[in-house]
Chains A and B, each alone.
Chain A
Amino acid sequence: MLDALWLIPALCLAGACANLVLGTLRAPKAIVAVVGVGSVGAATAVAWATLWAYAGQPLAVVVRPYFTWISAGDITVNASLQLDPLSAVMTAFVTVVGLLIHVYSVGYMHGEGNAAFARYFAYLNLFMFAMLLLVLGSNLAVLFIGWEGVGLCSYLLIGYYYRQLWCAQAGMKAFIVNRIGDLGFLLAIFATLAAFGSLEFETVFPAAAADPASFGPEATVIALLLFVGAVGKSAQIPLYVWLPDAMAGPTPVSALIHAATMVTAGVYMVVRANVLFRLSPTAMLTVAVVGGVTAIFAATIGLVQNDIKKVLAYSTVSQLGYMFLATGVGAWVAAIFHVVTHAFFKACLFLGSGSVIHACGGEQDMRRMGGLRIHMPTTYWTFLAATLSIAGIPIFAGFFSKDEILTRTWAAGASDLNGFGDAYRVLWALAVAAALLTAFYMFRALFTTFHGSFRGPEEVAHHLHESPRSMTLPLVLLGVLSVVGGFVGLPGQLLHLEGLNLIERFLKPVVIPLAEVGGHAAEAAHGAHGIGLATEWLLVLVSVGAAAAGVLLARRFYLGAGAFLLPRRLAERLPLLHRMLLNKYWVDELYALLVIRPLRAAAGFCWRVVDELAIDTLLVNGTAFGVELGADLARYTTTGNIRNYALMVLAAAVGIAALLW
């Protein structure tokens, strides 16, 4: 079964091609849906059969080289796929979540025309192809093909409603901001090639782990460059600005690409390259700081957004920050664990919001919703489950992964990881604060959308309805996963049951042990938490307490008789803070001022002044003019008057005679 590895992405690609053709033929939607869902369904079946076969044997790294992609000089890049515990986990949830969202899309997009419906599924299938290539690639180059491929699909799907200019602009913004990050990735690839002579994971990482002393400086450069790529794709400060705008795409796209899968590719990549990061305390600290600061920064913006999808978008940015914080403290497994649980609950939240938007006739402003739980019970209960999960309420999936990250961050501070203990302690405090804010803004969204009474227009109120089966089925499944998905990573050590954490056990081989370097304590964060059991329980209490406080605060603000009064008064009391949050700290405006305008000015200068004036007018045409002028002057010697010529001959003769004499 392992030999069918290539089939997993290939089936999705075949679906994409078929749907492109069907789109030009304007084939009926039923056929397109069968092809679109069927191809991903087949890929999922093959993937799980493969994973079943893989899990049944002793864990190992399976590399399948197919052909030589690029070969010139001493550069060789293979087109090859790799199955190891990490790519197995990624493939497992990407296929399942992807399939569910494909099913959901059939219902959500039924109002589109035949050609547009086929175009949607062609892009979505193409995305699955690129995403699976990304997680299955066995070297940085194949990873990069998938990386850019998902970026392309993201561009196409954000701009899916291309006749609305702002959608197309949001797509372009996403592509270009990502390209900035991608340059970092590309340079990291070049640096890796130069340092290791290969891009294969199985060559580079063991080589670096075996000889940390000599690869130290290169590791810092490569790790930081890779992280630049991750910052772009996974929407971290300062390149997060594209993700909120990306909500212009259809809601299932936001769920699949801009929440569950693509945006977590940066986390996957950092975990994949964990050996290089561990060799560089600087890179580790950078990752942790960027992640931790992004987590709280985005959470504060999420507090005041009124568009339900914008709340979820900033929440995604914030949760991605948690994942990077995890990698930055060496909690690699916890990062992937949070990627997985986040995929479940955030996909559920987005699909739930899509269901709500669908019912409200395209309305996305929560101020014109309310009381929807009566009309849409399935959507409500699944949304509630996912909200409890993201808020970190115990036994829900998000609790386990988030708590693990908080504990490990505390441990990094306590053990003075890499000598940066103070920084990690501050980051822990920020992360706990962000957990409180998360619980608050998510319950704010839940209460304003589903509780109270409906605040929208009359005609919409009559049409409020639960979504069709094809939409509620994925919701229910994702809702269930948001509840039970955390059980793969139970914190066994709290109960002295070490074997309980399945995902930790499964992913352990991905974190290759480093060879000993003199006095270098890079391994401190790896393995046992290194803090006492009592402290661990205390930390659990703190994180649950933060979540509970957030929920209670939201309840006080947005539920019951005094709903909305308190926040309004707060906004009036602190107008500057409110405006700053509402305007997202004016970061977009800042970029326009500091980057876009100077760039356009420089371009205009290059064109008008350098090109047209200096080079073309002065140098080029100036030379031509000089030649013309010289010729005009020289023409005066050709007067046609015989006496002038005689004079010139005489003058020349005298001159020559004088010279000779």
Chain B
Amino acid sequence: MVDDHLLSIVLIAPAAFAVVLLPIPRRWRKVHRVLTIIASSLMFAFSLRLWTAFDADEPGFQLAERLPWIPQLGISYHIAVDGISILLVLLTTLLLPVVVLAAWRLNIEHIKSLHISLLLLTTGMIGTFVAVDLFLFYVVWEITLIPMYFIIGVWGGPRRIYAAVKFFIFTMVGSVLMLVAVLYLAWFHHLQTGAWSYDYTELLTTAPLLPVTGGLLAPGLLVFAAFGLAFAIKVPVFPFHTWLPDAHVEAPTTGSVILAGVLLKMGAYGFLRFNRGLLPAAWEACVPLLTALAVVGIIYGALVAMVQADVKKLVAYSSVSHMGFVMLGLAAGGQAATQGAILQMVNHGLSTGGLFLLVGMLYQRRHTRMIADFGGLAHEMPVFTGVFLIVTLSSIGLPGLNGFVGEFLILAGSWSRAPVAVALAGLGIILGAVYMLWTVQRVFWGPLANEANRLLPDLTVRELFVMLPLLVLIVWIGVHPGTFLSPTEAAVRLLLGR
């Protein structure tokens, strides 16, 4: 029984638990915290069941569940995982208890509503990765918008309303066009086969037939552009990225971690699953553009990150640079580069998520994120410094830690196809070391520059437990990436082979 509906349980459980929280009075904050941390940890543990039930040798969708929803229009509740989505589902369920624990001491009135938003968001995010029906995909894609809008707009910084509205409208612009493209694909399927369908597995037979020749207005290219814009905004690809720094700076730590850790991956995942999977001919035509934008994003993001005064904004721009690597891998399109890009999505979730958590801990102590307010913290907070250094090294791709493996596969896999792009992206690696080490230098080394930082408490046991899962995975993926690469192999081969 449980095994038959494994995926549905993982998908629905967070939302269902949000309903359970509803009747509990909001003043019982401790109860909310304890219940949510227990529940989210159980959800993660349960999602590991997915991992064991998953068959890595099976390239297609697995653990599928399918129920008719609006059968007249060919819309169904069809969910499944394959090697491409399973890692992202697990990343999502892992980050949930991490951010709940990270927000433990957050002294806010509405911890209950924050938890409920977070849980609904989780269902939306998992849904995005497991939806096979494109209509369902659109619905869960939009569902993620609303809780995130509240998380930024209610619990954010001083310019939270501006940031929240900006985030909402940016995403909305993309996703409305995506809806049109989805409807068009279903209509085209009807045209070809006589039956309406929104099912990815069925659209795979018709969508590639969309003509891509005949100028820029060819249907195949238009559909590609509509999907592409929605995903490019989410990733974000240069020049659609300016919502990100605002959203990150204003969002509370919880929001930033989820935003960097999971929401950005929805864009890259969409590119791979839909643009690459459904429209291979249009993809081939757009590879030069995607490669160019990826490389520009890598260097541009790194340059802008370098001159930021606010650590959080710096990490936000570094995300633009890092997601550029993911896009480069996807654009290169070989087996190794694509697997590397998927792994790099997870890596970015761990390292950038980790950096946001650490910046949040610093902010809680000092209520500032300005680099100039720090200096010489290493002596006051040695353990914190050590953890920050490890996450930094993971972020700049030190061999032996996770970031290197992803970058290595992406760049090595892209070399034969685009050596110039690889060399330019390599400049991004150098700049990455520059801005991250310069930050470490200005925050942690040197004499204690500011008396207010004297005797800042070091990492607490709770905070150590927040970071521990990330640190373990950073080393694990760095030393033995096979655990996380082998599940993606068959699925990527199938998707690229079509």
Contacts and interface: CB of A to CB of B under 8 A. Distances in A.
Given A70-B409, A187-B423, A187-B426, A606 B300 contact: yes
A602 B299 CA distance: 11
Max count, chain A CB within 10 A of own CB: residue among B409, B412, B419, B481: B412
Interface in A591-647: 599-600, 602-604, 606-607, 610-611, 615-616, 619-620, 624
A72 B339 contact: yes
Interface string A158-179: 0100111100110010011001
A163 B446 contact: yes
Interface in B12-67: none
Contact of B303 (A148, A186, A606): A606
Contacts of A176: 430, 433-434, 437
A273 interface: no
A158 B437 CA distance: 14
B441 A168 contact: yes
A72 B426 contact: no
A189 interface: yes
B482 A71 contact: yes
Contacts of A172: 437-438, 441
Given A172-B438, A183-B427, A190-B412, A606 B304 contact: yes
A152 B398 contact: yes
A571 B321 CA distance: 51
A69 B412 contact: no
Given A179-B429, A183-B427, A606-B303, A162 B485 contact: no
A194 interface: yes
Contact of A70 (B239, B303, B405): B405
B409 A183 contact: no
A292 interface: no
A69 B408 CA distance: 12
A519 interface: no
A190 B415 contact: yes
Contacts of A620: 166, 242
A75 B415 contact: no
B409 A72 contact: yes
Interface string B376-417: 101100110000000001000011100001001101110110
Interface in A134-188: 141, 144-145, 148-149, 152, 155, 159, 162-165, 168-169, 172, 175-176, 179-180, 183, 186-187
B82 interface: no
Given A70-B408, A70-B482, A194-B416, 6 more contacts: A73-B337, A148-B400, A149-B399, A172-B441, A175-B433, A187-B415
A75 B437 contact: no
B306 to A, nearest CB: 5
A170 to B, nearest CB: 11
A169 B412 CA distance: 32
Nearest to A193: B412
A74 interface: yes
Contacts of A57: none
A186 B445 contact: no
B281 interface: no
A622 to B, nearest CB: 12
Nearest to A616: B242
Nearest to A145: B399
A501 B409 CA distance: 44
Given A144-B399, A606-B303, A607-B307, A165 B446 contact: yes
A75 B412 contact: yes
B485 A70 contact: yes
Contact of A187 (B393, B400, B422, B444): B422
A120 B376 CA distance: 18
A191 interface: yes
B433 A179 contact: yes
Q: Which 4 pairs, one residue from A and one from B, show the smallest C-beta to C-beta distance? A: A73-B335, A73-B336, A168-B445, A190-B415
Given A148-B398, A165-B446, A172-B441, A71 B485 contact: yes
A335 interface: no
Contacts of B426: 183, 186-187
B177 to A, nearest CB: 15
A186 B400 contact: no
A602 B302 CA distance: 11
A14 B306 CA distance: 36
Contacts of B430: 176, 179-180, 183
A162 B446 contact: yes
A24 interface: yes
B360 interface: no
B340 A72 contact: yes
Interface residues of A, number: 52
Contacts of B416: 194
A550 B383 CA distance: 52
Nearest to A194: B416
13 contacts: A69-B482, A73-B335, A75-B409, A152-B393, A162-B444, A165-B445, A165-B447, A168-B446, A175-B433, A190-B411, A190-B422, A603-B303, A603-B304
Nearest to B496: A73
B306 A603 contact: yes
B480 interface: yes
Given A162-B446, A176-B437, A190-B412, A603 B398 contact: no
A214 interface: no
Given A175-B433, A179-B430, A183-B430, A72 B398 contact: no
B489 interface: yes
A556 B31 CA distance: 85
Given A72-B336, A180-B430, A606-B303, A24 B481 contact: no
B334 interface: yes
Interface in A63-78: 67-75
A144 B303 CA distance: 26
A209 B480 CA distance: 33
Contacts of B411: 186, 190
Contacts of B339: 72-73
Contact of A607 (B304, B379, B412, B485): B304
Given A69-B481, A607-B307, A75 B383 contact: no
A115 interface: yes
B203 to A, nearest CB: 27
A619 B300 CA distance: 18
A190 B166 CA distance: 41
Contacts of B166: 620
Interface in A93-151: 115, 141, 144-145, 148-149
Given A70-B481, A179-B429, A616-B242, A75 B336 contact: yes
B427 A24 contact: no
A238 to B, nearest CB: 15
Contacts of A69: 479-482
Contacts of B415: 187, 190-191, 193-194
Contact of B239 (A148, A602, A604, A615): A615
Contacts of B444: 162
Contact of B307 (A67, A70, A603): A603
B335 A611 contact: no
A16 to B, nearest CB: 13
Contacts of B482: 68-71
B242 A611 contact: yes
Contacts of B479: 69
Given A73-B334, A75-B413, A604-B307, A615 B242 contact: yes
Given A75-B409, A172-B438, A194-B415, A145 B423 contact: no
A600 B481 contact: no
A163 B445 CA distance: 6
A276 B358 CA distance: 46
A599 B409 CA distance: 28
Nearest to A68: B482
A148 to B, nearest CB: 5
Contacts of B423: 183, 187
A70 B478 CA distance: 9
Contacts of A73: 334-337, 339, 413
Contacts of A193: 412, 415
